[in-house]
A and B are shown apart, each in its own frame.
Chain A
Amino acid sequence: MTADAPGTDGAPLLVLDGVTKSFGAVAALRGVHLALHSGEAHALVGENGAGKSTLVKILAGAHAPDAGAMTLDGQPLRLRGPADARAAGIAVIYQEPTLFPDLSVAENIFMGRQPLRGLRRIDTTAMNRDAERLFQRLGVRIDPTRPARGLSIADQQLVEIAKAISFDARVLVMDEPTAALSGVEVERLFAVARSLCEHGAAVLFISHRFNEVFDLCHRVTVLRDGAWVSSDRATDLTVDEVVRRMVGRDVASLYPKQDAELRDTLLEVRGLTRAGVFTDVSFSVRGGEIVALAGLVGAGRSEVARAVFGVDRYDAGEVLVAGRAVPAGNPGRAIAAGMALVPEDRRQQGLVMELSVERNATLARRRALSRLGLLLGAAERAEARHWTRRLQVKTSRLGAPVATLSGGNQQKVVLAKWLATEPRVLIIDEPTRGIDVGTKSEVHRLLSELAGEGLAILMISSELPEVLGMADRVLVMHEGRLVRELPRDEADETSIMFAATGQGATA
């Protein structure tokens, strides 16, 4: 179990002091302090959006902080790029693996640092052997000579881990490395991390899984809304206390879901299965109801939404809108059936960033707005104006590229695009991700209003306060399965968090 934090009294190895980073108008990190000591495993926890990944990117040299200082061994540390971070001895395991699919596993691990022999040639034999050793240490069996293409996510993550520990690194940053790993693999990883600590390295561990945090880490730092909340010895904390600090705000006033009259079932999903992604997911949503789909990142929530909407295919199960089956794998038919999906990733899936606000707002309605096959600017403009007004999109003009809008207004444009199709079922994935507080409550009021008008709303959200404030019912997913269903009055932070981390999974 948790050892006493070693060496926390001595001079820290790596210090972040008042690190601040903004992206446009949004502050991702506000004056964050963090001290990593040699030989300690340090957990960084926080809700989705608390700024953890931004912190990781700064440590990796991928982002430069706007303000604040970093020191390594008491020396000022300036990272101008990922190469600098490596040279300084900081290794990062990203949440999303960054491998070269065409190259062999061993090369992925040692790219740029391959062992050499005469004439500065790469010593492939030594490289494969070293890779093999790394895998032995991790206790996994991956052929170092096979290409990285086709590795499972878990194996990719293991290669990343092998890469990081192969470094001459003194600070190891792990951004949710365990999300895709099995229990045995996690144990192996922790054994390696502990042995690194014993040899004087510092490990920064980011995870949503509290049992892992308490299992591995000596100290725990909590971030909330980009700001530092606390750093304590793990032994002084409990899971409840950490959750309270992570959430730590007034929930009730922000999220005004009005009670709406519940009508007929509009969306029904039966036994939906996509091999290796989610299994046997069944639920229904009635008109006037907001059902939240909660769970950790990677639990399969967005994947369910994509399959329901037909973007991805599924292996088994069916989807019904108002009692009629919707054909699989065809978003066009889903739209025709009255479904709309506001996707998770606004930039990649929701918007065509280079096109104007107007074009984006009317993209899903482009056929309906045509007269005799012609789509005239006037019809689009009228439609776009109507919806951007209703949603109070703030833009200089409708012809402005949507990329120039703030995150909140971009999200409103996505909403406008889908509301314009007059859907009966609205699936909305992370409705307020990356938008400011004011716009957030506008979006919430709007969702409440839409439910009042009789829409069935399935809301995926990683933000607990939002889930608790908005949802009539909460479905919790864990590792591809629906594990809990909580009516509004039984749902609270702890019950959801426990189910989502796979602890109270008794449904």
Chain B
Amino acid sequence: MAHDSLYAAPPTAEAEPGAGRLASLRGLLGSWDVAVVAALVVAVLVASLTVENFATGRNAQFLLLDLVPLALIALPMTLIVITGEIDLSVASMVGLCSTLMGQLWLSSGLSLELICVLVVLLGAVLGAVNGLFVTGFGLPSLAVTIGTLALYRGLSFVVLGDQAVADFPADWTAAVVRTIPGTSIPVVVVPLLVLAVIFGVVLHATAAGRALYAIGNNDQAATFTGVSVARTKFWLFVVSGAVCGLVGILWTLRYASARGDNATGLELTVVTAVLLGGVSIFGGRGALLGVLAGVLLLGVLRNALQLADVDANALTIVTGTLLIASVVLPNAVADVRARLHRRRQRHPAAS
């Protein structure tokens, strides 16, 4: 392979047919964000018109409150998946941070402000453990974070057992669910927006963001361009942990309860939202706007169907179908296009 240089047979061989498919895929996925946003708009419109109580301020408030943790975790998850890795331990980190917050509040006598800072730092440490296993020992992140998923969830039960800590100061718990005066938008949306802007800028408008896409597409080429692949991935896991710490705090205060099983199973929903948002599980492709639209779409659909008296648990059909459709459709469309293209090419030749 290495020696047939002049005509670069093997490289171009794969490049040409592949390039065509990639190009049409890209055309599709470039507009995937737009498609998700459009689907979101349609879903909101239809739900407002047909579902009673959907278009009320109170519903909007709870819808958004439910979505904030999901959206927050989706931010670093997007970056991680773009580099071709995955973090399945996020929900367990939320749970552990939540119980630790409860335990500290219960027994340490520290101020809640300080506890919050400590919890975010703890999240970062938990993420660093993931990062160390993945980049330091060179282990697959899928396996590592399945391990820490169990480990961190287990530890969160160790911290509090099946107890719950609920006696958080009322002004704190009320603050989390409060809305921005004059609107039905919860105040917690503000930090989400701030973080979303930061993550969006980092991903789409900084040197580091460029490096993330390069790593996810082709880590060899990234290395040749001077990107430190391992270090970059390590810090992404740390950030993921810190954000989970933050979500742990919000979750605890929102439900006024620190429990070992907080946020159980959230990791799969986050991954679903990220993939639905157009991020490729292979890495290297995706945008933050699409992910946020994906989170909202998931939330709106579930909320509307729930209001329409569909069993909450059966709604997972919607989640699953959306996820499958989001990965099957682009390929199916590309195939159909390629087939049409080939037929068009063959036709004049035949006639």
Any A–B CB pair closer than 8 Å? yes
Interface positions, chain B 184-224, Cβ under 8 Å from A, are 201, 205-207, 209-211, 213-214, 217-218, 220-224
Which listed residue (B9, B226, B228, B284) contacts A354, Cβ 8 A?
A: B284
Chain B residues touching A, range: 35 or more
Q: From known contacts A404-B23, A434-B8, infer whether A355 and B213 are also in contact, taking CB-CB under 8 Å.
A: yes
Given contacts A344-B2, A355-B284, 11 further A-B contacts (CB under 8 A): A23-B7, A23-B13, A26-B7, A225-B6, A331-B224, A351-B218, A352-B284, A355-B214, A373-B206, A374-B206, A401-B26
A381 CB → nearest B CB, Å: 13
Q: Mark A95-106, 1 if CB is under 8 A from B, else 0.
A: 110000000000
In the complex, per-residue mask of A1-44: 1 if CB is within 8 Å of any chain B CB, else 0: 00000000000000000000101101110000000000000000
Interface size of A as a range: 35 or more
CA distance A272 to B15 in the complex (A): 35
Provide the bound-state CA to CA distance between A341 and B223, in Å: 12
Q: A53-B9, A347-B15, A352-B217 are in contact. Are A95 and B3 (CB under 8 A)?
A: yes
How far does the alpha carbon of A187 sit from the alpha carbon of B214 in the complex, in Å? Answer: 46
Residue A147 at the chain B interface, CB threshold 8 Å? no
Q: Which of B3, B11, B213 contacts A359 (CB 8 A)?
A: B213
Number of A-B pairs, beta carbon distance below 8 Å: 175
Interface residue A494 (Cβ < 8 Å from any Cβ of B): no
> Which of A137-145, A361-369, A387-395 makes up part of the contact surface?
A361-369
- Chain A residues with CB under 8 Å of B5's CB are 48-49, 430, 433-434, 462-463
Contact with A along B155-199 (1 / 0, CB 8 A): 000000000000000000000000000000000000000000000
**In the bound complex, do residue A355 and residue B217 qualify as a contact, i.e. CB atoms below 8 Å apart?**
yes
- Enumerate chain B interface residues (CB-CB to A < 8 A): 1-16, 18-19, 22-23, 26, 201, 205-207, 209-211, 213-214, 217-218, 220-228, 284-285
Main secondary structure of the interface of B (DSSP, over half): helix
CB pair A348–B221 under 8 Å, yes or no, is yes
Complex interface: chain A residues within 8 A of B7 (CB): 23, 26-28, 49, 51, 54, 226, 434
CA distance A344 to B13 in the complex (A): 17
Q: Which 10 A/B pairs are nearest by Cβ-Cβ distance? A: A434-B8, A49-B6, A23-B12, A433-B5, A366-B207, A332-B226, A53-B4, A49-B5, A28-B7, A54-B9
Q: Given A26-B12, A401-B23, A403-B18, verify A331-B6 contact (CB < 8 Å).
A: no
Report whether B206 and A404 are in contact in the complex, using a CB–CB cutoff of 8 Å.
no
Q: Which residues of A contact B (CB under 8 A)?
A: 21, 23-24, 26-28, 47-54, 57, 63, 94-96, 176, 208, 225-226, 297-298, 309, 311, 331-332, 334-335, 341, 343-355, 359, 362-364, 366-367, 369-370, 373-377, 401, 403-404, 407, 417, 430, 433-435, 462-463
Among A23, A48, A370, point to the contact of B207 (Cβ < 8 A). Answer: A370
Residues of B within 8 A of A355 (CB): 213-214, 217, 284
CB contact between A23 and one of B16, B209, B213 (< 8 Å): that residue: B16
8 intermolecular pairs with C-beta atoms under 8 Å apart:
A49-B8, A51-B4, A94-B1, A309-B224, A335-B226, A348-B220, A354-B217, A369-B207
